[in-house]
Structure 1
């Protein structure tokens, strides 16, 4: 499998565009643009889409809508409250999405040295401009190198106990489904990031990510493929995400730290 997602010089190509949004999701994107502008007004610097909708790979009724909002200031309680209302409104009004999520960051933090190889990279390479000036113009170009891999997903060991606690608290099947999807997605992304510097490319496609990982770790290929399946079709059986957290997770965290190191504390 040849590396992709980078240009001829090895730099990331920005994935997604408004031109790739499928017809079924165009009304959702239009509503999101209007709701964001109305909710945040002059507090908003810029807004971005990310995930399957701007990549043009979303499945009606199954995919969620993901937004990143850059504010002129660090998010306050009123900003977080507005984000919850925004996400709930979109989810309730549009059956073609299965949930909506809103990430909030201050402009200065997104451009900070601390976030240069984490949220800065995420915005510049994986997010599609929706409103306002594009902060990617103030960020460097990126390559799939070990520094990027360490600073994006090098904190898996710290996440595992939090996931276990959340699984213990999850009671409703819907809660377990959301957790299973989030946990599985994160593990597959971490698996890809682990091998990304050796592969030299990038993909947001979860089954493809599992296959790239499998080339380097065939002994864990079946588990990673299973995680990719859960990420696409979340389950309500808590034993499934629990098995991922208790077996694949610790091994992946240990291997990640051994090869790439630990993410710089925030």
Structure 2
């Protein structure tokens, strides 16, 4: 079992308040080199000329990767629409790499078209992640073509506007599910969403952002001390997920319902049109 540690940091910003990307190839620890190489090889082999570029995001390119604990989250930018590309090979490739390498908890392949990435009229989380939390490991780096981002209500909205549906989906995925690995994956997914949503509730006051769970939990707890223990439990579940579906449901019925209500209040202030549409 992995202990909860005070690991992580808030994103640095420049003089104009824009988030600075602190990812760098030089920060990647040597134990992750080989698996990154094989990920790129898989993308090249299966996508061929459809592959535009590959990015690694998250803790690993920031030098915060923990052996055997961190995931290797990767993004492939494609030259064609992803619906037109054969993805049948992905599950096997991920499973093979997960079995082969102990240094990572899991490998994730994901795919987005270049056209979708450079369409920046509306906020989208993947261009944001590429711009602020990723490093290019293959191909042409598009980060210079993407807009700058601030820790503001636009970013907060992204974490709160779909929270109700995400919690509902998690409950549906857990109820009656006998697949322990599926339940564990769902637990990690929804608990990370809840912790980051907690930060989003105070983002307009703090003007700070992080994907890291511990600092998000800490800053949430300064504003909502009465919910500190529940948010700490969410961090624990994200790091050490439970296969007990009933325990997840109980938590989501309690803390999840509270978070939904707080998200609705936040959206009423910062995105009232979206709340109105959700209630129609």
Same fold (TM over 0.5): yes
Out of 65, 72, 84, the residue aligned to residue 72 of structure 2 is 65
**Does 2:29 align with 1:22?**
yes
Q: 1:243 corresponds to which residue?
A: 250
Distance change in 2, residues 1:150/1:221 (3 Å): same
Gaps of 5+ in 1: none
Q: 2:166 corresponds to which residue?
A: 159
- Partner secondary structure for residue 66 of structure 1: strand
- Partner secondary structure for residue 76 of structure 1: helix
- Partner secondary structure for residue 124 of structure 1: helix
Q: 1:229 corresponds to which residue?
A: 236
Q: 2:197 corresponds to which residue?
A: 190
For 1:44 and 1:15, the matched residues in 2 are separated by 25
**Does 2:263 align with 1:256?**
yes
Distance change in 2, residues 1:111/1:253 (3 Å): farther
Distance change in 2, residues 1:12/1:188 (3 Å): same
Q: 1:108 corresponds to which residue?
A: 115
Out of 5, 29, 40, the residue aligned to residue 12 of structure 2 is 5
**Does 2:41 align with 1:31?**
no
Q: 2:53 corresponds to which residue?
A: 46
Q: Which moved more, 1:235-244 or 1:77-86?
A: 77-86
Q: CA RMSD in A?
A: 2.3
Q: 2:225 corresponds to which residue?
A: 218
Q: Deviations over 1:56-97 (max 9, x none)?
A: 222222222111111112213643323323322221221222
Would the aligned equivalents of 2:52 and 2:78 in 1 still touch at CA under 8 Å? yes
**Does 2:146 align with 1:139?**
yes
For 2:160 and 2:118, the matched residues in 1 are separated by 19
Structure showing greater Rg: 2
Distance change in 2, residues 1:199/1:150 (3 Å): same
- Partner secondary structure for residue 201 of structure 2: helix
- Partner secondary structure for residue 110 of structure 2: strand
**Does 2:207 align with 1:203?**
no
For 1:93 and 1:23, the matched residues in 2 are separated by 16
Q: Which moved more, 1:199-208 or 1:109-118?
A: 109-118
Structure 1 segments of 4+ aligned residues over 6 angstroms from their partners: none
Gaps of 5+ in 2: 1-8
Q: Deviations over 1:100-147 (max 9, x none)?
A: 112211111122246534322122112221211122211111111102
For 2:139 and 2:220, the matched residues in 1 are separated by 37
For 1:84 and 1:149, the matched residues in 2 are separated by 32
